[in-house]
Amino acid sequence: MKSIVFIDLDGTLWWNEVIPDSAIQAIEKAVQNGHLVFSNTGRTRFAAWPSLKGLPLNGQVYASGAEIWLNGKCIFYNPIPAEKTKRLIQKLSAFNIGIATEGVNKLHGNDRCRQRFDAGLNKQIQDKDQPEIFFEFLNMPDLSQMSEEDYQEVMKLSLVDVEMGSLDQILEEEDMIFTIFGIQDEDELMNGEITQKQFDKGRAFDTIRNILKQDFHTIALGDSANDISMFDAADLAIAMGNATEETKQHADYVTASVLDDGLYQAFKYAGLLEPDQEE
């Protein structure tokens, strides 16, 4: 049986968007052997595609499954409904938090969000090269400049400086989920993103299988908490050596770190590099 392989991006496929040569070689070999290899990220296409161009992938999963591409064609697309996005922005604006909408083609944010990126990223940019997307966040236009077309393509909302539990009622009313990416220890404020509850990285396996009308062995590679849904859905879950302890606990196997040929070793362990492994 052939496999569908989902690869997380940050901390799994790449580190600061530097991809080890061995990772590219592993993907090329697996695709040659007839497996389907997808990147699977919480990032929108806008935030991920510039760094994915030219990679030997069969497809890409964006926004945790809300947009899926196969062989250069979009096969699934389900942004947040425009009216819901407007309601979310209105409700969230009552809090003193940073808000950014991440669309298929554009980013928009409020002053608090831009200020946070200015403070947190300027030093990094001065110290070393950063991916282009960081500059997009630093220079994103204001939420007030969003057009009707912009509202219709929002895939998620990124938030900074959120108080614990403050969004519970909004999330319940709008049937959304909030994924925490970090907590600022000094003031216990959270950073994270709001996405549609009906989509996650794991459910994308079923979406692809249903569209292709074919069964596959499923393999997931990741390193952080938002990869756990695809770990739980996969036949084989592989955590990177640099993964969080929580993520490793949900894995069937732990490979080496991303910059220590971890992805190549994971593909080898899974039998993806052997042309007759499915027989």
Q: Are 41 and 8 in contact (CB under 8 A)?
A: yes
Q: Which domain holds residue 30?
A: 3-77+199-269
pLDDT in tens, 215-246: 999 999 999 988 999 999 999 999 999 999 99
Among 271, 258, 276, smallest CA distance to 17 is for: 258
Residues 116 and 247 in one domain: no
Among 196, 230, 246, give the residue marking a domain's end: 196
**Separation of alpha carbons 63 and 4, rounded Å:** 18
Is residue 34 in some structural domain?
Answer: yes
Which CA distances in Å does 22 have to 13, 91, 165?
A: 10, 46, 42
State the pLDDT at residue 6. 98
pLDDT in tens, 34-58: 999 999 999 999 999 989 999 999 9
Which residue carries 């996405």 as its tokens? 195
Residues 166 and 233 in one domain: no
Percent of the chain with pLDDT over 70: 90
State the pLDDT at residue 276. 61
Residues 123 and 186 in one domain: yes
State the pLDDT at residue 133. 60
Residues 71 and 96 in one domain: no
Domain holding 135: CATH number? Answer: 3.30.1240.10
pLDDT in tens, 173-209: 999 999 887 776 556 788 899 999 999 999 999 999 9
Among 162, 179, 196, give the residue marking a domain's end: 196
